[in-house]
Homo-oligomer: A and B are copies of this chain.
């Protein structure tokens, strides 16, 4: 394997590498079950990918496209993986505006950018989890983080603050809507940002 060095000397804070405004998410589904492989592969196949660019390898899956389309697709993947009683760990990195990004590997559709909505809206379950927001290249980043957390508290979806994260609890659809709204808020205030989130379903009972 010959791996070339990277060169980001032409990258500048505040200047996205993609002129098309491509949004993206990279995620992992980890069903804590002996049947993990079937659950993951089946969920990935069930997602309607006509509105996104998608790639899965042994490490994770990435979707790129319009904001609405990537949120629709990644949420539907988690919904398709859901089975009663199966504890699933989901982690995702949402991002937009990286100065090192390029106008490649994307689908940008103008119509029907939520093709999975009608097939998956009946699947619903509670999740708990955590998230963190990273507005890049900005000295005022704590202000944007504060606004987003307080919006989640107002909506009853933020269950607490802890070291290195904000805690989440609520219905899966409400949580994804909050994450998408936070993404929209960041789009208006920051050139490059990341939302890192972990969502767990079917939590075992009992004390730890």
Residues in A lying within 8 Å of B, measured CB to CB: 1, 3-9, 11-14, 24-26, 28, 30-34, 36-37, 41, 56-60, 62, 64, 87, 89, 91, 93, 95, 98-101, 105, 128-130, 132, 134, 136-143, 145-146, 149-150, 153, 156, 158-165, 167, 194, 196, 198, 200, 203-204, 208
A-B contact list, 15 entries, CB within 8 Å: A5-B153, A7-B146, A8-B143, A9-B143, A24-B163, A26-B162, A33-B33, A41-B208, A57-B208, A59-B167, A62-B163, A64-B163, A98-B164, A132-B194, A134-B136
A60: contacting residue among B36, B134, B198, B204, CB under 8 A: B198
Contact, CB under 8 Å: B3 / A160: yes
Which B residue's beta carbon lies closest to that of A1? B159
Task: Verify B37–A34 contact, CB threshold 8 A.
Answer: no
For A129, give the chain B residue with the smallest CB separation.
Answer: B59
A95 CB to closest chain B CB (Å) equals 5
* A138 B141 Cβ-Cβ under 8 A: no
Q: Which residues of B contact A26 (CB under 8 A)?
A: 130, 162-165
Q: Are A58 and B137 in contact (CB under 8 A)?
A: no
Are B59 and A105 touching (Cβ within 8 A)?
no
The reply to whether B204 and A37 form a contact with Cβ atoms under 8 Å apart is yes
* CB-defined contacts of A30 to chain B, threshold 8 Å: 30, 32, 89
Give Cα A38–Cα B138 distance, bound, in whole angstroms. 43
For A10, the closest partner residue in chain B by CB is B142
Cβ of A162: which chain B residues have Cβ within 8 Å of it? Answer: 26, 57, 62
Docked CA distance A165–B196 (Å): 12
A119 to chain B, nearest CB (A): 22
For A141, list chain B residues within 8 Å (CB): 13, 136-137
